[in-house]
Amino acid sequence: MVRAVIPQASAPKPKLLARWKAKLRQGWETLKAEHASPARLGVAMGVGVFCGCSPFHGFQFLLSLGLAWVLRLNKLATLLGLQISAPPVTPLIVFAGLQFGALLLHGRFLPLRLSGIREAIHGSLWRGLLTDFVVGSLALGVVLGLIVGAVTTLLVRRYRAKTGSAANPA
């Protein structure tokens, strides 16, 4: 008896999926280990925090990845630092940026009275508030970035000394 060979649709080859999975895993491990000395991880976290505090909302992700690429920093650490601007925290970062800018530029904090807020909304203070926000956000980003970067460097060094592990210090 002769069997007819009927072409049947086959599922994707397991070998192809296994290769993709291996490439993804290799890419992930490479990304985790790139520029992973304690100091460079600290700088990467600090840059991420700086970008997260920057007044360029909507472009913070691209800004942080661009700076990580240009400065040859660990991209995952930079993106982790960027999480300081997660939506629940964003209003606090904006408020702190406004207050810090007002303190730096005018030597006093912004008023927290309802009448002061109404005056700012309906008056001509938008230009002043925008300047306060930009200056304050950038200064706040520098300060928080330095603090987070230093703490990250210290913690990574302690962790690696304790566990005896060392990543690629490139």
Higher pLDDT, 166 or 163: 163
Axis crossing angle, helix 38-53 with helix 126-163, rounded to the nearest 10: 160
pLDDT score at 170: 46
Predicted confidence (pLDDT) per residue in 19-77, tens digit: 888 877 877 677 667 768 899 999 999 999 999 999 998 899 999 999 999 999 999 99
Closest CA to 52 of 85, 76, 80: 85
Q: What is the mean pLDDT of residues 5-15?
A: 61
pLDDT score at 119: 66
pLDDT score at 142: 97
CB 125 within 8 A of CB 159: no
Q: Is the pLDDT of residue 140 over 90?
A: yes
pLDDT score at 36: 82
CB 45 within 8 A of CB 152: yes
User: Read out DSSP for the chain?
Assistant: -PPP------PPPHHHHHHHHHHHHHHHHHHHHTT-SHHHHHHHHHHHHHHHHSS-TTSHHHHHHHHHHHTT--HHHHHHHHGGG-TTTHHHHHHHHHHHHHHHHHSSPPP-SHHHHHHHHHSS-HHHHHHHHHHHHHHHHHHHHHHHHHHHHHHHHHHHHHHT------
Predicted confidence (pLDDT) per residue in 97-138, tens digit: 999 998 999 899 887 776 666 666 665 566 778 888 999 999
Q: Please calculate the CA angle 149-83-87 and round it to the nearest 5 degrees.
A: 145
Alpha-carbon gap, residue 115 to 117, rounded angstroms: 5
Q: Is the pLDDT of residue 2 over 60?
A: no
